[in-house]
Amino acid sequence: MDYASFLKAADGGQPPSVALLHGPEGFLLDDAVARVTRALFAETADLALSREILEARVAGVDGIVQSALMLPWTSSRRLVVVKSVDELTARSADPLAGYCQSPNPSTVLLLLSDQSLPPTHWLLKAVPRALVVAVLPPAGGQLAAWLRHRCRAEAIELSEEAAALLVELVGNDLARLHGEVEKAALSGGAANRRVGAAEVRAVVGETRVRHVFDLTRAVVERDLGAALPLLGALLNAGEDPLAVLGMLAREARAAWWASDGLRLGRPEDEIARGLGRPPTAAAAMVKRARGLPQGAAARHLRRCWEAERRLKLGGAPRPELALLIADLCAE
């Protein structure tokens, strides 16, 4: 079962009796638990009596099975959530497999692992394949689409432009992206459920938005004289150097995607859709990629990876980023 199918079943009040969810993105795991909880129980339900959250290492497999076998008290269903299930040892395989073969129909047992499990892990053998959910975080062009879909689940209409702007400014931190959408919605009033670029700018701040876009535009235009002061303004305002690098790397990655698509002879509209940007911005990126020297996009992307490695090894952020921008503007 994939994550989207699991959420669809959960939102419909029909989650599987047992599910093993594994993946590195804690927000998505927490979101799954919250959505199952909302579907199974009314807002007024006493969750202390209807839902039990266990730490696998503390409860052990016997405690987990015993909790799952308990009958509900105040509702027709119980929810048992087991965190860090990967901390159990392989000796837990037989009891867990036995329960999965004949689960308590009044209990939903969610087994969570905050890491992606390798194919050889004993848990993937103990839990039937149909009940295993790989929770993979969206990346690249998928982020804006994921964010809009996630907002629709909460009856928030997030425009395509606003989603792209948020991803550009916030990056791939799913929890922060979700939080910024909620703040942007509230900026339009307590009852507002529509979020456009104007609401995003109101939350993020016009100055930062302007500096971010001016910096990326200066790099695209190879205007080193404008780019370096903008870099300084962002860093002086407390911007995380890795966040600035992330903005530059996303542009380099998009340029590489478009450039590679052109090299392979893909239709331009197909390349634009794959960028996950508003149509005008996507068309502009394809046009930019068409004008790059052969191999330049790949070199820019490799240079961003090199800068990331150097920063994470303790390199001084300001000179490392200044050198990167100088290299990006040189070609």
CATH number at residue 303: 1.20.272.10
Q: Is 206's pLDDT higher than 70?
A: no
Last residue of a domain, which of 204, 226, 251?
A: 204
What is the band of 279 on the pLDDT scale with cuts at 50, 70, 90?
Answer: confident
- Kindly give, in sequence order, each residue whose CB lies less than 8 Å from that of residue 180, ignoring residues fewer than 6 positions away: 166, 170, 200, 203, 204
CATH number, position 194: 1.10.8.60
Quick one: 127 and 7 in the same domain? yes
Task: State the average pLDDT over residues 300-318.
Answer: 93
33 within domain boundaries: yes
| Number of other CB atoms surrounding residue 56 within 10 Å | 20
9 within domain boundaries: yes
Quick one: 115 and 150 in the same domain? no
Query: Cβ(230)–Cβ(218) under 8 Å?
Result: yes
Mean pLDDT of the chain: 89
309 within domain boundaries: yes
Domain span including residue 305: 240-330
> How many angstroms separate the CA atoms of 262 and 3, rounded?
33
Tokens 């009040």 found at: 13
Quick one: 26 and 122 in the same domain? yes
> How many angstroms separate the CA atoms of 61 and 111, rounded?
11
Q: Is 165's pLDDT higher than 60?
A: yes
Least reliable range by pLDDT among 32-41, 129-138, 267-276:
267-276
* C-alpha separations of 60 from 66, 70, 133, 193, 220 in Å: 10, 16, 22, 44, 56
pLDDT of residue 207: 57
> How many angstroms separate the CA atoms of 201 and 218, rounded?
20
Q: What percent of the chain has pLDDT over 90?
A: 54
β partners of residue 54? 82
β partners of residue 195? 158
Quick one: 130 and 148 in the same domain? no
pTM given for the model:
0.64
Residue 270 burial (CB < 10 Å; 0-12/13-18/19+)? exposed
pLDDT digits (tens, 9 = 90+) for 58-97: 999 999 999 999 998 878 899 999 999 999 999 999 999 9
How many domains, the chain?
A: 3
Q: Is the CA virtual torsion 93, 98, 104, 105 positive or negative?
A: positive
Task: State the average pLDDT over residues 125-141.
Answer: 91
What is the band of 120 on the pLDDT scale with cuts at 50, 70, 90?
Answer: very high
Quick one: 184 and 269 in the same domain? no
Quick one: 72 and 127 in the same domain? yes
215 within domain boundaries: no
